[in-house]
Amino acid sequence: MGRRNLMSKVVFFGVDLHGHVNPTLGLVSKLIERGEEVVYYCSDAFRDKIEGTGASFRSYRGLLGFSTHKGSGIDTFLVFADFLMDRSRILTSALFDEVAKLSPDYIIHDAFGLWGKDMAAKLDVPGIAFFANFPFIDEMADRDPQFFMEYVLRAQGDPLYERNRGKHDIYRKLLDRLSGMIALRYNLPPMNVINDVFCSKQPLNLLFTSREFQIYEDAFDDTHLFAGYSLHPRREAVEFPYELLDGRPLVYIAFGTILNELRDAYEACFAALGDGRYQVVMSVGSTDLAGLRELIPDNFIVRSYVPQLDILSRAALFITHGGANSIYESLCSEVPMVVLPQVFDEYMGALMVERAGAGIYIRDSRAAPDQLKQAVDRAVSLPEFKASCARVRESFERTGGLDRAVEEILKYTKQKVYDDAY
């Protein structure tokens, strides 16, 4: 009896961002519980977190260095596409022989991890993509081209878009132009930069959300498995002075671990929430607070890092940049949000929160203190926001969660049930 009948080996390619690694930890644990052997590639900072699941860790050896590129409009989109293509070529070249020696039975990779799709194809093994970010695929544009142009491509201000705003074919024209630029640069055949680069679509694609929460969910066919979202306990030794919490409604503020230089946003929070009505916990990452410390109100507890899940379990409100990890953890904790998106898919996340009634989307990233204060007061005081969070959380549970995801993975890799759908 061969190994495949007993236990399969999966190589897992992650992206070195907390919001992309955290959603995978529960899935990896479930696969290992079912007897699968998991080898997980990521950057060294995530070793302990990954090994805590029982997976074998392998390092990208400094070759990835994922980051978010803050810019304007189409420029941001193109820079990020170029980054993904460049890193994919580097990682495939550097790691392919090593991965081939592992003889994986299948590969699971981040939707941003084009190198995982490339290696699965070269090794002729099944490939599975997972969306840790807010899922967006080209087919969504058929439902609402303007939404896709403005919330995904960030095309406001692009001359071609502004000249043709409102025309039904403008999205396809702009997408063809962008796809052609990327294909020419990397000497590739005609491609779709959304589905082929940003999504790395496979015959089976895992989405850590629900159809009810996903915007334009009818664009996603049966090759997309909605697996909900599950909180996975973190094994992180992050100290926090819990004795300072005094029973006032707790507002938690965090703008992610990438874009830390958000001085205007921090100052707006100090001015809006410094009157003492709320107690505020603020996580600032690696931000240099020089010149800001004297502005911190007495009712604020400011730390570089905090145990986010534990703080959310005590919070009345979360002020967030709108990253997928933050929004989903807030929803699972049934904590309403005020969302101030800064880059890329955060704008989509903010819109999804607003659409679900789970929080307030502030469209001005440089929100005035009065505007921020009004949003916080409204989201804390009106019970329908918390009720909407609970409704979304329940929709995650109805998907069947990680248990169903593992069943479908095993069906695909052992029975090939998705092959005809791709």
Q: Identify whether residues 257 and 376 lie together within a single domain.
A: yes
Q: How confident is the model over 339-380, as pLDDT tens digits?
A: 999 877 888 999 999 999 999 999 987 789 999 999 999 999
Span between the terminal Cα atoms of the chain, in Å: 30
Please state whether beta strands 127-131 and 250-254 pair in parallel, antiparallel, or not at all (unpaired). Answer: unpaired
Adjacent-strand bridge partners of 130: 110, 206
Q: Which domain holds residue 132?
A: 3-228+399-421
CA dist 421 and 271 (Å) reads: 54
CA dist 422 and 420 (Å) reads: 6
CA dist 121 and 138 (Å) reads: 22
Residue 360 in contact with residue 338, Cβ under 8 Å?
yes
The proportion of the chain whose per-residue pLDDT surpasses 70, expressed as a percent, equals 93
Residues 38, 130, 352, 391, CA torsion sign = negative
Among 101, 113, 97, 93, which residue's Cα sits nearest to residue 41? Answer: 113
User: For residue 260, is pLDDT > 60?
Assistant: no
CATH of residue 189's domain is 3.40.50.2000
Q: Identify whether residues 61 and 192 lie together within a single domain.
A: yes
Q: Identify whether residues 333 and 376 lie together within a single domain.
A: yes
- The whole-number average pLDDT for the span 231-258 is 88
Query: How many CB atoms sit inside 10 A of residue 4's CB?
Result: 11
In the three-class reduction of DSSP (H, G, I as helix; E, B as strand; rest coil), residue 221 is classed as: coil
Residue 193 inside a domain? The answer is yes
357 contacts: CB under 8 Å, gap ≥ 6? 384, 385, 388
User: For residue 381, is pLDDT > 80?
Assistant: yes
Residue 10 inside a domain? The answer is yes
Q: Identify whether residues 279 and 222 lie together within a single domain.
A: no
Q: Identify whether residues 216 and 335 lie together within a single domain.
A: no
Does 162 or 257 have the greater pLDDT score? 162
User: For residue 70, is pLDDT > 60?
Assistant: no
257 pLDDT band, cuts 50/70/90, is low
User: For residue 422, is pLDDT > 50?
Assistant: no
Q: How confident is the model at residue 289, as a pLDDT?
A: 79
User: DSSP letters of 156-170?
Assistant: TT-HHHHHHTT-TTH
Residue 119 inside a domain? The answer is yes
CA dist 161 and 155 (Å) reads: 7
Q: How confident is the model at residue 57, as a pLDDT?
A: 99
CA dist 80 and 327 (Å) reads: 22
Q: Identify whether residues 247 and 270 lie together within a single domain.
A: yes
416 pLDDT band, cuts 50/70/90, is low
User: For residue 158, is pLDDT > 50?
Assistant: yes
Q: Identify whether residues 9 and 129 lie together within a single domain.
A: yes
Q: Identify whether residues 327 and 218 lie together within a single domain.
A: no
Residue 382 in contact with residue 7, Cβ under 8 Å?
no
- The whole-number average pLDDT for the span 99-109 is 98
Residue 337 inside a domain? The answer is yes
Residue 221 inside a domain? The answer is yes
Total domains present in the chain? 2
Asked which of 25-29, 217-221, 263-267, 318-322 is least confident by mean pLDDT, the reply is: 263-267
Distances from the Cα of 247 to the Cα of 129, 253, 351, angstroms: 43, 17, 31
Residue 235 inside a domain? The answer is no
Residue 396 in contact with residue 228, Cβ under 8 Å?
yes
Q: Identify whether residues 271 and 308 lie together within a single domain.
A: yes
CA dist 61 and 43 (Å) reads: 7
Structure tokens at 209: 């959300």
Q: Identify whether residues 136 and 34 lie together within a single domain.
A: yes
Residue 383 inside a domain? The answer is yes
Residue 236 inside a domain? The answer is no
CA dist 333 and 73 (Å) reads: 33
Distances from the Cα of 230 to the Cα of 25, 273, 279, 393, angstroms: 10, 31, 28, 9
Q: How many CA atoms lie within 13 A of 315 on its CB side?
A: 30
Q: How confident is the model at residue 300, as a pLDDT?
A: 98
Q: Identify whether residues 161 and 309 lie together within a single domain.
A: no
- The whole-number average pLDDT for the span 197-213 is 96
DSSP 15: -
Residue in the block written with tokens 């409704």: 391
Q: Please give the helix or strand (H or E) that residue 19 lies within, else none.
A: helix 18-33
Query: What is the pTM (predicted TM-score) of this model?
Result: 0.90
